[in-house]
Amino acid sequence: MIRVLFICLGNICRSPMAEAVFRDLVEKEKRNDAISVDSAATSSWHIGSPPHKGTLHILKQYNISAKGLVGRQLTKNDFEQFDYLIGMDASNIENIYEITGKPDHPKIIRLLDLTAHKKDVPDPYYTGNFQETYDLVLEGCSALLNKIKSEHHLMD
């Protein structure tokens, strides 16, 4: 099983959105038996909380399930449990390095580094623009799925 963990600051906006979007992409390609997905926060602010209402609204708008999304904090052990640790911005990446003790490890990736954008996914908690975040997350998740399929020989 290939395990993917999406990570942002609070685990209520970007990373649960990415978890849901990626899970939806994986299910549509019938890869559930090969790929699992989760999300976490670098902070402890929203442990046990559901996603932000803006995240829930945008997922509902695109008919993507938010079932099972609950805030949790990244742990050092997550590094061993997951094959890909995907941060939403440069600050998240630095925090992941610090928490895991694995700076510059190749399985720790900033999501949009997999796209032509090469920038951070803006935090809609502060910007209020959940549509922009969704569009970037979808593009990044699509690129990540293609990367995983290629690296693990899951091509159709």
Dig out the tokens for 15 from the structure.
Answer: 């990373």
Domain ranges of the chain: 2-143
CATH superfamily of 2-143: Response regulator (3.40.50.2300)
Question: Which phi and psi (to 5°) does residue 148 adopt?
Answer: -65, -45
pTM of the model: 0.97
Dig out the tokens for 23 from the structure.
Answer: 């899970």
DSSP 112: G
Residues 55-110: tens digit of each pLDDT = 999 999 999 999 999 999 999 999 999 999 999 999 999 999 999 999 989 999 99
Dig out the tokens for 38 from the structure.
Answer: 């989760």
Can you tell me whether residue 22 is helix, strand or coil?
Answer: helix
Q: How far is CA 11 from CA 30, 40, 126, 148, 149, in A?
A: 26, 5, 14, 23, 26
* Catalytic residue selected from 24, 78, 89, 123: 123
Confidence band, pLDDT 50/70/90 cuts, at residue 156 = low
117 vs 48: which has the higher pLDDT: 48
Q: How many helices (H) does the chain have, and how many strands (E)?
A: 6, 4
Which residues sit opposite 73 in a β-bridge? Answer: 41
DSSP states of 69-105:
----B--TTHHHH-SEEEESSHHHHHHHHHHHT-TT-
14 is catalytic: yes
* Catalytic residue selected from 8, 78, 110, 120: 8
Dig out the tokens for 48 from the structure.
Answer: 């046990």
* Catalytic residue selected from 14, 23, 110, 141: 14
Residues 107-136: tens digit of each pLDDT = 999 999 999 988 999 999 999 999 999 999
8 is catalytic: yes
CA–CA separation, 122 vs 99, rounded Å?
22
